[in-house]
Amino acid sequence: MALPMQRCWTRLRALTLPWPAAGYHARPRTWGLDTIYKPDPNDPATKEWHKGPAYEAKLYGRHGSASGVRPESLWPSPEQLKAIEKEEKEWYPSLQEMLERLEAKDKEMLQKKRERERLIAANMAKMPKMVEEWRRAKKEARQKERDEKARKERLLALAREKFGVHVDSRSTKFQEMVKELEKEEKKKAKAVKRKQREEERAAMASVLSAVPAAAHPAPDHKT
């Protein structure tokens, strides 16, 4: 039973591995752990991440004073400290500043809400008048449409009386006749308005003439 299983295992390893490999476990590394690797920053072969204060801070954090790094050299300069403080104020505000910003934002949102409510209330107060104006405009538009329809029917009836039963409203003769009739209607309307003004003037003159002279005393001329 063991022999077929061993053959199967050998064939499976031959299929999965491109070369034969021995199954073993490497021993843990025991050399070089008690030494501190500190590359020379002046060496061209030294990597960039092995240079600078960041790597020295890592060495000091891992090995302490045995790393040979002076801890005071890791402290930022006054210019760097000011830049760090500025960045912290901008991106990491204090709790009091965050509360003040939240309070100001809440006040702004409340003010906008009140303004929106006032606007809605004002529009609702204007709503009856706006609805009435809309209804009046719609009524006037319908009346104008009816008047225009009646005018066209009247002009068409006049055209049929003048040119016969079969008349096209798009013909040149019909359009000319419409223009002539419109001119006549405008003249008649002007004549009616003129007559109304003359009648109003005559009525006013008759009223003034009927007022007794006592109502209009003569001026007193002193000698």
Q: Can you give the three-state secondary structure of the chain, one letter per residue? A: CHHHHHHHHHHHHHHHCCCCCCCCCCCCCCCCCCCCCCCCCCCCCCCHHHCHHHHHHHHHHHHHHHHCCCHHHHCCCHHHHHHHHHHHHHHCCCHHHHHHHHHHHHHHHHHHHHHHHHHHHHHHHHHHHHHHHHHHHHHHHHHHHHHHHHHHHHHHHHHHHHHCCCCCCCCHHHHHHHHHHHHHHHHHHHHHHHHHHHHHHHHHHHHHHHCCHHHCCCCCCCC
Least confident of 25-29, 93-97, 107-111: 25-29
* Residue 117 in this model has a pLDDT that exceeds 90: yes
Q: What pTM was computed for the model?
A: 0.33
Helix orientation angle between 95-163 and 172-210, rounded to the nearest 10 degrees? 100
Residue 187 has a pLDDT of 86
- Whole-number average pLDDT of the chain: 78
What pLDDT does residue 223 have?
A: 41
Between 19-23, 91-95, 151-155, 180-184, the lowest mean confidence (pLDDT) is in 19-23
Q: What phi, psi does 67 have (nearest 5°)? A: -75, -15
Tell me which of 11-25, 72-86, 149-163 is least confident: 11-25
Mean pLDDT of 52-67: 85
